[in-house]
Structure 1
């Protein structure tokens, strides 16, 4: 099934350009020229990804980003003529998954859309059929035997890499593919400080490069799921000017 993408853009020429690029790539596209219309479409259609311009006639684009991240389980890419670093940082810190500056190359937009959708795809158990998953989850790799897949236990949590399930007190907690991959990297290197570049290399390899703040976004999502206090996290700690570290004992079974 084609991913559903909502384009929130008040410039009709830009909206048509984005719609044409993504439609030709195989995505299902809806367009809204204002924030209120975008919210109505999102309620009805539940998009997988929303592309938002920051300059909208009826609302501030950053407020719309924040609203969508609160209400909907979707990826968000900001596409804006505002290219200042502070705009990018603010947009990503409030929940956007990526930021593309106008004017942009069509291939760059497609690559970033694919990257965000891939990272947000649900983590699929290795023994589950991948016929309908396609490139969004890295299909094509040989399945690893569940018997050989390690299980990690930490702070009352259990991550089974055979079934790709995270649980606490036997209660499962869903992870996206990107969150799962990042958590495995941290668990395998517990006690080590890892920079954003290292985490990108470990999780993406030579695949499509993404803006390095995407790691911060995924760390924030993982913390929301596993930390008792996200403001003062104890499991995944931020090491100032260095990166992140999984700071609790990990038992590998």
Structure 2
């Protein structure tokens, strides 16, 4: 079985070298890049399991890159950044990142976070990769929602994790704690905010009335319930 591929985008050569060494020692394959243009060009030929992305890149908007990775390519993205403010962490998660690590960091922590993302991204899904519900089809192999006319709307890897969680447990209460335990990440304000944003975006893509959603119901103080009838294939 081929080892998971981790791509590293950071303009600091020492950090790239250090991450390459610890990840390869842990059994991962790696590719590293100093510039966003080189990194994005390489993605036309490779499909990484996890992307490690520094936000402070010369000549590039790191947050915009994270958003493109998450939305257009369905990649699992871990931000590694010297920006330690809570708002920076929240913004990164809102734009589609799966995790956020601040510099300076312990190399072992990066390895642990990468392993956690791969476990989350590659679970065994006996249900399959296509789910049909209430006039919609969710294609998890290409990260797209298809309506009954055939029109498709892309969703990010992070949004897809939340959607799959709902579709695999329809008509059952899912608490915030269950979401945190299943999807990974540290519990707290940034995780809660990220979940709120992802659920809001899913409701928009499903054309839900935000004041009275039909499918993803909020049970205040308890969690969420997905009310659709789901058929997997």
**TM-score range normalised by the length of the shorter chain:** 0.7 to 0.9
Unaligned stretches of 5+ residues in structure 2: 142-156
Is 1:229 the equivalent of 2:189? no
Change (3 A) 1:102 1:238: farther
Matches of 2:218 and 2:136, distance apart in 1: 28
Name the SS of the counterpart of 2:30 in structure 1.
Answer: strand
Match of 2:177 among 194, 197, 200: 197
Query: What secondary structure, in the 3-state scheme, does the structure 2 residue paired with 1:46 have?
Result: coil
Shift of 1:167: 2.4
Please tell me whether the aligned partners of residues 93 and 99 of structure 2 are also in contact (alpha carbons under 8 angstroms). yes
For 2:132, the equivalent position in structure 1 comes to: 167
Task: Name the TM-score, length of structure 2 as normaliser.
Answer: 0.72
SS in 1 for 2:43: helix
- In structure 2, distance between residues paired with 1:105 and 1:35: 24
Post-superposition offset of 1:76: 0.2
2:220 maps to 1:245: no
CA distance in structure 2 between the aligned counterparts of 1:54 and 1:93, rounded to whole angstroms: 14
Determine if contact 1:195/1:244 at 8 Å carries over to the other structure. Answer: yes
TM-score (norm 1): 0.67
Q: Which moved more, 1:18-27 or 1:178-187?
A: 178-187
- Written as runs of structure 1 = structure 2, the 5 A alignment for 1:43-122 is 43-121=44-122
Greater relative contact order structure (CA < 8 Å, 6+ sep): 2
Mark the CA change 1:119 to 1:178 in structure 2 (over 3 Å): closer, same or farther: farther
SS in 2 for 1:95: coil
Q: Which residue of 1 aligns with 2:148?
A: none
Residues 58/121 of structure 1: CA separation in 2 closer, same or farther (3 Å cut): same
**Secondary structure, aligned partner of 2:100:** strand
- Which residue in 2 is equivalent to 1:153? none
Partners of 1:56 and 1:218 lie apart in 2 by 28
Map Cα deviations across residues 175-217 of structure 1 (whole Å, 9 max, x no partner): 789557722675352xx4x54224324x37xxxx623428945
Using a 3 Å threshold, how does the CA distance of structure 1 residues 231 and 46 change in structure 2: closer, same or farther?
Answer: farther
Structure with larger Rg:
1
Counterpart in 2 of 1:187? Answer: 170
Structure 1's unaligned 5+ residue stretches are 126-160
Aligned length: 207
1:12-31 alignment, distance < 5 Å: 12-31=13-32
- Secondary structure, counterpart of 1:43 in structure 2: coil
Q: What is residue 211 of structure 1 aligned with on the other side?
A: 186
